[in-house]
Each structure stands twice: as structure tokens, then as C-alpha cells.
Amino acid sequence: MEDTVMRATLVNAEKFVGVANGALKMAARDVRVFYGESEALHGVDLDIYENEVLAFIGPSGCGKSTFLRCLNRMNDTIDGCRVTGRIELDGEDIYDRSLDVVLLRARVGMVFQKPNPFPKSIYENIAYGPRLHGLASGRAELDDIVERSLQRAGLWEEVKDRLEQPGTGLSGGQQQRLCIARAIAVSPEVILMDEPCSALDPIATAKVEQLITELSETYTIVIVTHNMQQAARVSRRTAFFHLGNLVEVDDTTKIFTSPSDGRTEDYITGRFG
Amino acid sequence: MNNWVLICVLLMLMALAYQFGLARSRSVAGQGAARMHSRPGYYGLLVALWCGLPALAVFLLWTLFEPGIIRSVVLNQLPPDLAGLQGNELEVLLRRIEQIASGFGVSDQPAAFELAAAERMRSLQNTGRLAMIASMAVLCVAGLVWTLRRIDPQLRARNQVESVFQALLVISSTIAILTTIGIVLSMVGEALHFFRFVNPAEFFFGTVWNPRFSTTGAADQGQFGLLPLLWGTLMVSIIALLVAVPAGLMTAVYMAEYAPAWLRAVAKPVIEVLAGVPTIVYGFFALITVGPFFSVLGQTVGIDIRATSALTAGVVMGIMIIPFVSSLSDDIITQVPRAMRDGSLGLGATKSETVRKVVLPAALPGIVGAFLLAASRAIGETMIVVLAAGNSPILHANPFEAVSTVTVTIVNQLTGDTDFASPQSLVAFALGLTLFVITLSLNIVALYIVRKYREQYE
């Protein structure tokens, strides 16, 4: 039963297999993360290519979110968290002293598990990032960025008449798309998504998944998900994490049909996790 | 027998009754006819309560009403030529009789009728006391036996005990409310009394405060204009807030957002110690240190600053309420969800941009609430202004001059020789009521804002 569902969703994933690997966008080498004394991530090596959708799957506490947060140094904000190893963005070490973390986060944007719009108007939510980075020289240009971002996030038609209303008044799914629009507004190169649909209902989830597929034409997307069907639907490649290790990473079709590691097979067939 | 001994004996009896109830319920349970409704402890408590509470009620009512009854009995039996006594003379006589009866005695030779009355009073007191103890004992035993006999599997002991405790909680919470109502009523009563002397319009809109002394005669009762005092209060409070709000808010932002955990653990309690310093200490700090400092500072820059002025009082009061503002704002800032900060940082905002553009706006309603609470604290503050504001109830706009506030004036009008029938004293109640209304409305607005803010995230 489980298998037939899985195979049906894989038909969707088939179309990604033909996509040729783009240029190398980010590369992680021997990345370890420590919370105080305990090691949460035991040496991860992973390449991320331009314009691909890469999904991280694995049981709770396996380190997939921790690794995701290393990619734009969001772990810096957690007390007692230490990262070793090397992560490169376009060949530059992002943990290098000379690199400005503010600029890094403008290039590697993030969407969180729970929709977290600021308690400001819809317009101000989108305009927040462009204002910080001085992307618009005038009101007209800012208006333009806001409209384009909302259109790309598929939210424009729903909110164009109420841009001055608070973003917190939208539904959960709309809030999450608002957060995606907010991330797009600063024109990042990579977008990290940490379980972006786990707080959404199935219809809102479908919209966000469609959006992810559309966005992958322009951006490199890394998505953490608990939902294996979702990984199968949206991603070209999938990485499986287990107990702080990256077990394997391969084309999504291959991971879900003939994984090379026994642990991956156990997980996707529902034997644990 | 002393009242305290009586209460102690009663408590011991209740403890004994508890044990009886426990034992009885266990033996009933042991007979095994049916499952007991409650656990043994509840039966024990029920027996103890029935043993103690009725006796306690009798004790309270008795001590409340007995003296009055004895007095009227004694009065009725006084010689007929004394029956016409009124007011103070009657009070004095009764006081003398009570003192003779208690064995304390009076300084001069008591009259024969006084001795007789005292004798009668003493015997009444003794009889009453015995009757009270006897009825308490009877109620104790009756309650104990009756409840013990009622113990059976169907008795809902737990529900009954719990309703008693619930009643206790209700009574406790009513005390605070009733006290507030009592305070308001007594102030309203006296304030109305004051407005029989002085026209409310003259009081609320008068610009001159010159109450004279009550001993100078009723012909010239002085002027009771509220505005100079209200203006003084306002000026001192505004200066205090100008000091406390920026300092307190920045402290809160540092503590909540930047300070490392160890520093926060040390510094936060230290800041809150400031709130525990008695206001009189702040008062003489203002008088002895801050005031002269401002005065000298004024001389060096060529401004005439009085040592006791609105500035001195306001600045020191501001220092006093810094911990108030910082602690409340700190709580509110830490309540802003982490997701907000992550969202902003994830867009490439720096920490200070995040604080200024996301955290503070999100916390703003709560912070405003904290300011209003601090403001009502400043308005009601007394000791610092008594010592450091100069006590000069004149309407002027210069913060370097002495002023007087509503609270200081209340202190002035109620200390020393006071005659509670004169407007000079009664005005204190009108002032107090005004102050109460102002701080109450500030508090209500503040609580409303804080509550509205809370709804946003929970």
C-alpha cells in the first residue's frame, strides 16, 4: 500500500531526472556542529548545484535542520553552538572572518517552519529586506519590488487590495507565501526552507509546493521536510540524514526506488522514524 | 483563659478530631461493605472542620458582640441621676468602670456606684466567658460525634472539604476588593464633606493654593486651588519619566538582547535591588547629594538652580523607577517570539536593525503599558518630593524652582495639629481622591494595553 503511493508520486519526480547538473553553488566539507560539548552533526560532505531543488529527509533529531541552518549561519544566533569544517558559496568560505554574515544572509535566504510574518502591514513585510539592503532608490521602485515579489509568490491577486493590512491577519498558507515573498524580495541566490509546510493544511501545502517548483527556475532551493511524498514531489535530489550523519544523497528517484544504504530503505519504507 | 490559649486548644482538638476521623473511616472501610467515596484523609479533614469551625464562629461572634451587650447592661443599672449623661462624659465614665473591673484601677478614689458597676461588669464578663467556653466545648464535641457517626461509604467527604477550602479562597480574595471599596467610600465621604466648605469649581480650577491654618478662625478659610499642586505633580512626573524611560528602556534592550547569560544573571537582580531601596533613602539622597550637586552645576553654567526643586525631585524619582521600567520592558521584549528575530536575521538584518525595526515595534504596546504603570507610580510617589521638591505650591513653569505636589500637600495637611471638621484637613481627602482617580485611570489604560498586546502572541 505504502509502496504504491510512493511509486505514484515518483512519476512526478521522473521529469527532474533529465535535468543536467548545474554549476556547483554550495559545497560543504566535513561540517560538524557542536551544541556545548555534544556533537550534533558528524562530518557532512555535500554539494549543492545551481537551480536544483535538494530535499533533506530523515527522522526527527537527525541533524537535517541543523545542517540547513549552517548554510546561512543562522546557527550563529544560538548560544553555545559551534560549527567546524568548511562551507563554500561560489567558492568562498562562508565561515571566513572577512565574510559579512549580513551579506551572506542576503544571498542565502530562509523560510521557517512556522510562518513568521512581522506584526506589520503586508507591504512593510515585503519591503523590510529591500529597505535594509538599500535595493530600492525610491518609493516607486520599492512598490515595484513588492508587487513582483508577491506575484512570484502567487500572492499578489489575493492581497493587492489590502497591502496596508497586517500580515498576521492572513491565513496560515498565505502567511507562509508572504514569508517566501519576503525572502524573494532581497533577490537571494539560494533559498533555505525548514519544513515550510508542516504547519499548513493540504491545499496550502499544494500551493507552496507548486511555488517551489516554479521558483527553482531562478533560485537554488534546499528544503527540509518530514513528508517523504513532498520530497518526492518537489525535489530533484534527496539527502537522507540519520543520527547526525549524512547517510546518502542521490537523485530522488533513486533514493525512493533503489537506495544504496539499508538505513535509507528502512526509513522510506516506514520501518523506523 | 487567654484567647490565644483558647485558639490553640481548639486547633489541638481539631488535630485530634482529624485522627479520629481517619481511624473511623479506616475501620468503616475495613468492614468492606462498599468502596469508600473518598480517601481517609478527607474524612479526617471533614471531622476536624466540623469540630473546629462552629466553635470558631461562636468565638468570633462572641468576642465581637459581648463588650457591647455588657456595656448596655451595666449602663441600664447605673443610678438614675446618671442616666442623662451623653457623649464624652459617658465615655469617660465607662472607661473608668472598665479599668476598675479589669483590676487596672483609676488614679483617684472611685465612687461607690462606680465600684458596684465595676463589680457587676466583672461578674458579667466572667459568666460570659464561661458560657462561651462551655458552648464552644459543646459544639466541638457535638460536631465531632455527629460527623464521626455520619462516616459511611456514601458520604461525599472530599466534595464537602473542597467546598470549604473554596469558600476560604473566595473570602481571601474578597478582602482585597472590599478594602479598596472601603478606601474609596471613606474618601468619597470625607471629600463630599470638604465640598460643603469649598465649591468644587473653586477647588478643581483654582490657581491659588493658600489654605491658611485652621486655628486662625472660620471667617477666612483660605483658598484651595488644585491646579498649582497638579502642575507640580505633572512637572515632577514628566522629569522623572524623561530620566527613567530612556535609561530603563535601553537597560531592558541590553539585558534582553545583548547581555551574555552570566551578566544577565548578575545584573538583573542588582538592578531590581534599586526598586527595593526605601523611598525615604532616595529622599535624603536627593536632599543631601543630588540637590546641592545641581545647584553647583547651575552656578558653573550660569543658571539659577535651587537645591530643592522640581528637577532634583524628578531626577531622583526617575532613578527610582528605572528598575520598574526596565524590568517590565525586559519581560515584554523577551516575550517577542524568537521566530520574529529569526525572520529578520534570516533576511540579512543586523542585530541592532532587528531590535529597532522588529522587536521594539512588536513589543511597543507592552512597553507603553509599562511606561504608564511607571507614570502612575511617579504620580503617587511622596517621600522624595516631600524632601526634595521644596514645597512651594505656586504655579510656575520653571523646573529649577521649588514646587509642591498633591502628595506632599496631603502630608502637610494631615500632619501636626489637625481638626477633622475643618476644610484645611478635609481637603486632604479631596486631594487623595483626585490622585486615586488619576492613577486608577492610568493603571486601567496600562493594563488594557498590556492585555491587548498579550493576545497578539498567545
Question: How many CB atoms are located within 10 Å of the residue B411 CB?
Answer: 15
Q: Across the interface, do A132 and B353 touch by the CB < 8 Å criterion?
A: yes
> Which domains are seen in chain B, by residue range?
3-155 (no CATH), 209-457 (1.10.3720.10)
Residues A47-71, mean pLDDT to the nearest whole number: 92
Chain A residue numbers with beta carbons less than 8 Å from the beta carbon of B263 are: none
Residues B290-312, mean pLDDT to the nearest whole number: 89
pLDDT in tens, A133-173: 988 888 999 999 999 999 988 899 999 999 999 888 899 89
pLDDT in tens, B279-291: 899 998 999 999 9
Q: Which CATH number is correct for A2-118+188-268, 3.30.565.10, 3.40.50.300, 2.60.40.4070, 3.30.70.2860?
A: 3.40.50.300
The identity of residue B80, as a single letter, is P
Smallest Cα distance from B348 to chain A, Å:
4
Whether A105 contacts A73, CB under 8 Å:
yes
Distance CA A194, CA A57 (A): 11
CA B428 → CA B181, B232, B302, B395, B420, distances in Å? 18, 16, 39, 19, 10
Q: Across the interface, do A179 and B261 touch by the CB < 8 Å criterion?
A: no
For residue A112, give the nearest of B342, B350, B353 by CB distance: B342
- Contact of B349 with chain A, judged by CB distance below 8 Å, is answered with yes
Question: How many CB atoms are located within 10 Å of the residue B116 CB?
Answer: 16
Chain A residue with minimum CA distance to B357: A128
- Give A 184-213 residues with CB within 8 A of chain B: 186
Distance CA B311, CA B197 (A): 35
Q: Across the interface, do A118 and B358 touch by the CB < 8 Å criterion?
A: yes
Chain A residue with minimum CA distance to B362: A119
Q: Across the interface, do A102 and B349 touch by the CB < 8 Å criterion?
A: yes
Task: Kindly report the average pLDDT of chain B as a whole number.
Answer: 87
Smallest Cα distance from B450 to chain A, Å:
16
Q: Across the interface, do A128 and B348 touch by the CB < 8 Å criterion?
A: no
For residue B346, give the nearest of A72, A103, A120 by CB distance: A72
3-state DSSP call for residue B268?
helix
Does the pLDDT at position A10 exceed 50?
no
Smallest Cα distance from A109 to chain B, Å:
6
The two beta strands, A237-242 and A53-57, are parallel
The number of C-beta contacts closer than 8 angstroms across A and B is 65
Smallest Cα distance from B274 to chain A, Å:
29
The pLDDT of residue B1 is: 57
DSSP 8-state code for residue A43: E
Residue with cell 490565644: B4
The two beta strands, A92-93 and A245-251, are unpaired
Chain A residue with minimum CA distance to B261: A79
* ipTM (interface predicted TM): 0.84
B386 vs B419, higher pLDDT? B386
- Contact of A17 with chain B, judged by CB distance below 8 Å, is answered with no
Distance CA B212, CA B19 (A): 68
User: What confidence tier does A2 reach under pLDDT thresholds 50, 70, 90?
Assistant: very low
Whether B243 contacts B384, CB under 8 Å:
no
CB burial of residue B335 (10 Å; 0-12, 13-18, 19+): middle
- Contact of A130 with chain B, judged by CB distance below 8 Å, is answered with no
- Contact of B239 with chain A, judged by CB distance below 8 Å, is answered with no
Q: Across the interface, do B362 and A103 touch by the CB < 8 Å criterion?
A: no
Among B362, B346, B363, B344, which residue's Cα sits nearest to residue B354? B344
CA B231 → CA A1, B316, B377, B429, distances in Å? 81, 18, 16, 19
pLDDT in tens, B201-223: 888 888 888 887 655 555 566 78
* Residue ranges per structural domain of chain A: 2-118+188-268
For residue A74, give the nearest of B345, B357, B456 by CB distance: B345
CA A238 → CA A2, A14, A72, A256, distances in Å? 19, 13, 20, 9
Among A158, A154, A157, which residue's Cα sits nearest to residue A177? A154
Q: Across the interface, do B344 and A118 touch by the CB < 8 Å criterion?
A: yes
- Contact of B366 with chain A, judged by CB distance below 8 Å, is answered with no
3-state DSSP call for residue A250?
strand
Among A128, A222, A114, A230, which residue's Cα sits nearest to residue A183? A128
Chain B residue with minimum CA distance to A126: B347
The pLDDT of residue B68 is: 86
Q: Across the interface, do A116 and B347 touch by the CB < 8 Å criterion?
A: no
Residue A96: how many CA atoms within 13 Å on its side-chain side? 11
Lowest mean pLDDT among B117-126, B369-378, B379-388, B417-426: B417-426
Residues A228-237, mean pLDDT to the nearest whole number: 92
Distance CA A221, CA A52 (A): 6
Residue A194's H or E segment, with its range, is strand A190-194
